[in-house]
Amino acid sequence: MSESTYTPSESGLAGRLLARFPQAVHVGQYWSQSKRYRRLLKVTLVYTGLRLLLHLVMIGGMALYGQNDDEVPVVPQDLGVYLQASAHLEQRQDLYLKDPFQSTNEPYYYPPVYAIAFRPFLWLFQLSPGLLSVVHTGLHLVAYGYLYYLWGQIFRLLNLEQANRMMALTLPVWLVFSAFWADLGFLNIYIGMAVLGTLLLRAILTEQLGWSAVWLTLIWQTKPQWAFALVLPLLLGRKRFFFKLLTLGGIGYILMIGITLLLVGWDYGWQQQVDYWQFLATVGDKYPWRTPADPFLGYNHALKQLVIFRLGLSPITNYLVLLVKLLLLSPLFFISLSLFSRSAPQTDFPAAQKRLDLAFIFYLGAFIWLDVVWELTLSIAIFPYLLATTPAKRLRQFMWVIFLSYAMLDLWQVLSFAILGQAVILPGFYIATDPGIYLPLIMIVMLVFYSLFIIRLRPSGPYKLSEEVGPCIR
């Protein structure tokens, strides 16, 4: 078979599996055509195996030598917070402290129903903390692979096969992607939220009202910013679908509260629900912001943290942060207003790209507005999509440089620790050699992506795919 005409055989199980995974076909093409791609993919696969082994050694060490106290957790930090909340719920204790950041434990940021959902994991923890960490590691790996698969399906659904080709080309990046390994290290829910946000987007694109309501309800119970796709029907002429979905999502939210009250009792359950809303309303005032007195910025790259780190915490600073956010998001407001005034929906091919541009820019806008920004997980789809739909070669090269500075942070951290040992570990588990604690790399990437989408979505912006899909690896 000629390398230039490589296609997977449709006969046999392997061929049928490849046909179901759009990126896999293109991975096979690049593998057969490019020695450099094969070498790079092999190297990153080996690194992934070693990195996963390191992770298992770390969680094994916690389980074997950790103690169930405030100093040495027996499971990774965020997983421990969820388990502790579930234990407090069983004992009918308060989930939300009045001064959450005065405790040595991280605060619990989610509603009571989330603690109820974690009860099976609490029982598994009581059986074996190590087994629980291994199970959650497996769940994260499956979720990450499923997220990659889902975006292949969405790109194919919208006839954006160039984006699938770019997802295949950038596969080595996603094997070392810092956001994934950070999520795995803490065993938190960022990858899971990215999956839910993607499922909501797919259901909205296909106008599956029932599934859209299910995903929206689950998202609103955890991290509402991941409901970014909710605006698409409103802006693209599907207002009736939007209001139906909004109504069903609201009913679902109320039902979740009802389930909480039914399972834990009215008095205790309602008090915890009210405490949760009060906690969300005041958490920004009590958050331990890093100020000019601190030696470095840290891993929270939100705009508010950037301003406070330079100017200190004061009422004037808060107003300045609000002004900066409003200025940055004002172009998105005017674009939305322009789209809202047009009631006729578009169904041609360029409109498919426009839908994704809108979905991604609202995702970025939501995170720009947030006061805590630790990750940019959905760049697993945004980065290859922008590479596939950006004609200018120099701009694509610029995106590579900017994005890799963020995507490769975990590799940099691991190599630093391997070479320098414990000397690189600073109080609070910061890595002294990590550029991400000195430079707001996540926010830089976010603003670059956001600016590109603003340019594309302006009224005179062109909507056609590039004939090129970026520099191929030869």
> Mapped to the 3 state alphabet, what secondary structure does 199-229 carry?
HHHHHHHCCCHHHHHHHHHHHHCCCHHHHHH
Q: Specify the DSSP element, H or E, that contains 259.
A: helix 239-264
Beta-carbon count within 10 A of 438 CB: 12
**CA pair distance 443, 195, nearest whole angstrom:** 22
**CA pair distance 437, 427, nearest whole angstrom:** 13
Domain boundaries, the chain: 34-457
Whether the pTM exceeds 0.75: the reply is: yes
Give the tens place of pLDDT for each residue, 120-140.
Answer: 999 998 888 889 999 999 999
Give the tens place of pLDDT for each residue, 332-384.
Answer: 999 888 887 765 444 443 477 888 999 999 999 999 999 999 999 999 999 99
Q: How far is CA 61 from CA 53, 64, 157, in A?
A: 12, 5, 44
Straight-line distance from the first to the last Cα atom of the chain, in angstroms, rounded to the nearest whole number: 19
pLDDT higher at 11 or 73 = 73
Helix runs in 66-128, H state only: 77-90, 112-117, 119-127
pLDDT, residue 102, reads: 65
pLDDT of 246 strictly over 50: yes
The answer for residues whose C-beta is within 8 angstroms of residue 460's C-beta and 6 or more apart is: none
Return mean pLDDT, the chain. Answer: 86
Strand partners, 383: none
pLDDT of 390 strictly over 80: yes
- Inter-residue contact 332 to 361 (CB < 8 Å): yes
pLDDT of 74 strictly over 60: yes
**CA pair distance 33, 323, nearest whole angstrom:** 51
What are the backbone dihedrals phi and psi of residue 430, each rounded to the nearest 5 degrees, phi first? -90, 150
**CA pair distance 217, 221, nearest whole angstrom:** 6
**CA pair distance 90, 68, nearest whole angstrom:** 18
What are the backbone dihedrals phi and psi of residue 347, each rounded to the nearest 5 degrees, phi first? -130, 5
Give the tens place of pLDDT for each residue, 29-71.
Answer: 888 899 999 999 999 999 999 999 999 998 888 877 765 544 4
Give the tens place of pLDDT for each residue, 435-455.
Answer: 999 999 999 999 999 999 999
Q: Which tokens belong to 129?
A: 């903390």
Q: Which tokens belong to 22?
A: 């759009």
Q: How confident is the model at residue 5 (pLDDT cuts 50, 70, 90)?
A: very low
